[in-house]
Amino acid sequence: MQRKKQLTNIKIPVDPGPAGWEAILPSRKPFAELTQDIEADYLVIGAGFAGLSAARRLVQLQPDAQIVVLEGKKVAEGPAGRNTGFMIDLPHDLASDDYAGSADNDRRQTAMNRAAIDFARQTAEEYNMPSEAFNPCGKTNAAATAKGLNHNADYARHLDLLDEPYQLLDAKDMREKTGINYYQGGLWTPGTAMLQPALYIRELASGLQKKESLELFESSPVIRLKQKGHKWLASTPKGSVLAGKVILAVNGLVERFGYFQKRLMHVFTYASMTRALSPFECKALGGEANWAFTPADPMGSTVRRISGIGGDRLIVRNRFTYDPSMEVSGSCLSSVAETHIEAFHARFPILNRVEMEYCWGGRLCLSLNNVFALGEVEEGVYSACCQNGLGTAKGTIAGIIAAEQATATEVESSLIKDYQAEPAPQKLWPIPMMWLGANGYMRLKEWRAGKEF
Ligand SMILES: Cc1cc2nc3c(=O)[nH]c(=O)nc-3n(C[C@H](O)[C@H](O)[C@H](O)COP(=O)(O)OP(=O)(O)OC[C@H]3O[C@@H](n4cnc5c(N)ncnc54)[C@H](O)[C@@H]3O)c2cc1C
C-alpha cells in the first residue's frame, strides 16, 4: 500500500461539539507540547485506543527502547474520548440486521476482542484506574418492538451456535433495570466491558507517561512525515522526531499521510449527554444507577445510564452520516441534537424537564469489506487503522498487532493469536455514488428501525 507521493501540511479535521465524557471530568495537568527536535526508536502517531495500546505493547516488548507518542489534539479530545464506551467481545457487525456474521469468523473475532479486553483489564489494574474507567459488567441488546425482539431471538440462536452464554430479559426485567416502560425485552451478554472512554484514555496516557522510556506529547500534530536515510522524520509545528520505526494510529486520517487513499469510508455518529440528574429525579426515575443498552436493531439508539465522577446522567447515541470531507456542518449537529432529544423524551417521559448538556459527533473509519488497514505500508512504517466503528476493542487489537509487527515479535508470543492477515480495504466507488449510496442506505435503515431508533 505504498503511498504515491510525500504529503505536506497534513491537517486534523475539527471534531463537532464538545464531548461530554471529557467535559464532566475534573481538569487535568496538560501533557507537554513537542518544542524540540528529538530522536526515538519508535514513534507512535495518535493517542487513541490504537496508539496508546501500541505504545504499551512496545514498552512490554522492548522496555529499553525509546518511544515517543505524538497526539495532534488534547489527549481524549478526539474520537477515542467521544464514543459510547462499549468494548464488545461478541460479533457486532453494524451492517447486519442482528450483528451476527458467519460462525467461524465470529469465533475468531470474539477471541481477538477478548484478548483486547484482557489487555485493557490488565492496563486498568496496572495503572490503578478508577472502576468506572473500565467496568467488565456486560451489556444488553434492548428491544422496543416485536421486530427488535425477533432480532434478539435470531441473535440468541446465533449465540447458541457459538456456545456463548446470554440471558433473555422480559419487559418487567427491563423496567426494573431502567425505571421506564419503553422496552419489551432484552438480551444480556456478560463479556462486554463498559468504559468511561475519556477517563480510560486519559489514565492510560498518564500511566504510560510515567515509564522512563516513553515520552508523550499532546497538541503536537504531525504535519509532515518523510524518509531520512533509513529513518523517518515526523515534523510538528514546533519540533520533530527522527525515528527508526513509525506506527500510524490515526484511524481514517491515515489517508492524509498518503496511504489507503480512496479505500476508507469516513462516517460520523453522534451522542448527547444529559445534565446531571438531581437526587429527586433519580428517585422518580427508579431503576439501576448504571446500565448499558445497544439497540436490538443496529441502526437504533444506544442508551446508557451512568453514575460516577460526573454525577448521574443518561446518554443517547444514534444517527450515522457519511462525510468524505471528514467534517460536518453546525446545522447537521443541530438536527442530530433534535433527534437525540426526541429519542430521549420518547423513552423517559418522566424526565421531560431534563435537558441535554452536551451533543457531539465523531469520526468512524470503515472499509467496504470490513477489514483493518493494518500492517507495514512502507519500510519502517506500520498502519494500525480502520477499526470499522468498533475501535475500543478493534483499535486495541490493531495497536497491539502493529507493535508486534514493528518489533518482529514471533507469532507464538503474540497477544492476538487469532489474527489472520486480511486483504487490503476494497476500493470505494466514485465519491458522488458513495455519498448517495451510503447516506441513502443509512437513512432507510434508520427509518426502518422505527421505535428502536
Ligand atoms: C459517538 C460515538 C460513539 C461510538 N461508540 C463506540 C462504542 O461504543 N464502542 C466502540 O468500540 N467504538 C465506538 N465508537 C468508535 C470509536 O470511538 C473509534 O472506532 C475509535 O476511537 C478508534 O480508535 P483509534 O485509536 O483507531 O482512532 P482515534 O480514536 O480516532 O484516535 C486517533 C488519534 O490520532 C490523532 N491524530 C490524527 N492525525 C494526527 C496527526 N497528524 N498527528 C498527531 N495525531 C494525529 C487524533 O487526534 C486522534 O486522537 C464510537 C464513536 C463515536 C463518535
Q: Is 99 a residue whose pLDDT tops 80?
A: no
Predicted structure pTM score: 0.96
Q: What confidence tens digit (pLDDT) does each residue in 143-159 have?
A: 999 999 999 999 999 99
Can you give the pLDDT at residue 245?
Answer: 98
**Which ligand 1 atom minimizes the distance to the CA of 257?**
41
Of the candidates 452, 137, 190, 174, which has an alpha carbon nearest to the alpha carbon of residue 296? 452
Can you give the pLDDT at residue 103?
Answer: 84
Give residue for cell 448499558.
292
pLDDT band of residue 101 (cuts 50, 70, 90) is confident
Distances (CA, A) of 56 to 61, 76, 83, 207, 308: 9, 17, 21, 9, 27
The Cβ-side half-sphere exposure at 377, using a 13 Å CA radius, reads: 26
Q: Is 6 a residue whose pLDDT tops 70?
A: no
Average pLDDT on 399-420 reads 95
* Domains of the chain, residue spans: 20-452
The answer to whether 180 and 285 are in contact (CB under 8 A) is yes
Can you give the pLDDT at residue 324?
Answer: 95
20-452 maps to CATH 3.50.50.60? yes
Ligand 1 atom 14 nearest Cα: 83
pLDDT band of residue 104 (cuts 50, 70, 90) is confident
**From CA 331, how far away is CA 333, in angstroms rounded?**
5
Can you give the pLDDT at residue 387?
Answer: 97
pLDDT band of residue 10 (cuts 50, 70, 90) is very high
Average pLDDT on 109-123 reads 97
**From CA 106, how far away is CA 260, in angstroms rounded?**
26
Average pLDDT on 289-297 reads 96
CA of 385 to the centre of ligand 1 (A): 10
Q: Is 85 a residue whose pLDDT tops 80?
A: yes
Q: Is 219 a residue whose pLDDT tops 80?
A: yes
Q: What confidence tens digit (pLDDT) does each residue in 34-71 have?
A: 999 999 999 999 999 999 999 999 999 999 999 999 99
CA of 46 to the centre of ligand 1 (A): 9
Ligand 1 atom 29 nearest Cα: 80
CA of 169 to the centre of ligand 1 (A): 32
pLDDT band of residue 93 (cuts 50, 70, 90) is confident
- pLDDT averaged over the chain? 95
Q: What percent of the chain has pLDDT over 90?
A: 91
Residues in the chain: 453
Can you give the pLDDT at residue 95?
Answer: 63
Q: Is 8 a residue whose pLDDT tops 70?
A: no
Ligand 1 atom 39 nearest Cα: 72
Distances (CA, A) of 404 to 62, 399, 409, 414, 417: 10, 9, 5, 7, 11
Residue 295 CB–ligand 1 contact under 6 Å = no
To which H or E segment does residue 239 belong?
none
For residue 250, give the amino acid letter: V
Ligand 1 atom 53 nearest Cα: 362
193 SS3 class: strand
Average pLDDT on 343-362 reads 97
